[in-house]
Structure 1
Amino acid sequence: MTSVFTSLIAVTGTLLGAALGYFLQRRSANRAEQQAAVLAFANAITAVILNQQDRWHRAAEDPGGPEDLVAQRESHRLRNVARQAMNGVALHVPIAAVLNQAEATFWTASEVHSAPTAADRTTRSRAAHQSVRTFITLASKAVR
């Protein structure tokens, strides 16, 4: 009887250990996926902001010229990449406040190129970078 009881305890301990190990590994993997989604979006938006600044300069130099058109096409491509990264955030960090900030960040970054003056472009760029920092801060609290 003692050996049956001992075996039962051993099997129970093994099953509990395996279940706990699975739970901890899954939790760690989820956190890593969330962090990767947040980082991908932040990086994509940063690329959008830089492109929007370049697009503004190309349009100021030669509106409708070949470099302006290339910058416009690149702008559309990078905004699409950012939108896809935002879908990753929505999938891995489905928290309304984080998603709302991601959307606000996307639009703030997307409007840099339409600034009427260089001073306004600088203001919009700073606002976009600040919005990225706000997104990262908010998302990092949700991912922990």
Structure 2
Amino acid sequence: MESNGETDSITEFQQKLDEFAVMMYSYIGILQRDALPAGSSDKDVKVEDLKLREDRRKELEQQAVEYATNIVKTAEDVDDTITNIEKEVENTAEGIEIGIREANEVSKQVGVKLKSKSERVRQTMESIRVAFEEIEKQEDTSNSYS
């Protein structure tokens, strides 16, 4: 089962496990249903019936091989999905770490710029304060001459 882009990896994994379980139980049920009786003896059976039994046994053997092959392939698909999920988790964690590092770097840069601007604002405010003090001194001086 291929991912259609709309399901996440965990959902895909669950679907594959469900398919796997259904397949195993179906195949086991079919093999049990179609199996020849275990307690039957060949001595009281007609030659034609023996031929039918042998043909049926060969058919069941082929089915068993086909079913086993399908089960193994589905199990491999489940394993591949688990591996893909593990890779996704690693990539996601790595992506988050990279994002955090980048965000920290941007934060540092913004902090440096903010510190620089706040220092300029502080210097400007100091200049304004000094200018006001000068103006006050001049006003005091001019008021004292008046």
Tell me if both proteins adopt one fold, taking TM over 0.5 as the criterion.
Answer: no
Give the TM-score band, short-chain normalised: 0.3 to 0.5
Which structure is higher in helix share? Answer: 1
